[in-house]
């Protein structure tokens, strides 16, 4: 897993609640576009789920 992917995953785990990509970008210091790409990758691998539209959380 790439460093930035781990950063996004850690931010989601630390938050303890679903976050929007913009919130994740703020916490990690990454660009919003980059966060969106990473979320798509993590969703494809099953590491992240979307409990409600536009919000993301780590998969259990």
Reported confidence tier of residue 33, pLDDT bands at 50, 70, 90 = very high
pLDDT tens-digit map of 2-25? 999 999 999 999 999 999 999 999
Q: Is the pLDDT of residue 38 over 80?
A: yes
Domains defined for the chain, CATH in brackets: 3-58 (1.10.10.10)
Cβ neighbours of residue 4 closer than 8 Å, sequence gap 6 or more: 28, 30, 34, 38
What does the pLDDT read at residue 43?
A: 97
Q: Classify burial at 8, counting beta carbons within 10 Å of its beta carbon; exposed 0-12, middle 13-18, buried 19 or more.
A: buried
Average pLDDT, the chain: 96
With b for 16 or more beta-carbon neighbours within 10 A and e for fewer, the 42-60 pattern comes to beeeebbeeeeeeebbbee
- What does the alpha-carbon distance between residue 3 and residue 35 come to, in Å, rounded to a whole number? 12
């Amino acid at each position: 897993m790439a460093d930035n992917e781990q950063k996004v995953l850690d931010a989601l785990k630390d938050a303890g609640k679903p976050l929007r990509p913009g919130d994740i970008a703020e916490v990690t210091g990454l660009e919003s576009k980059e966060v969106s790409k990473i979320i798509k990758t993590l969703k494809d691998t099953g590491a992240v789920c979307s409990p409600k539209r536009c919000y993301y959380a780590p998969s259990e």
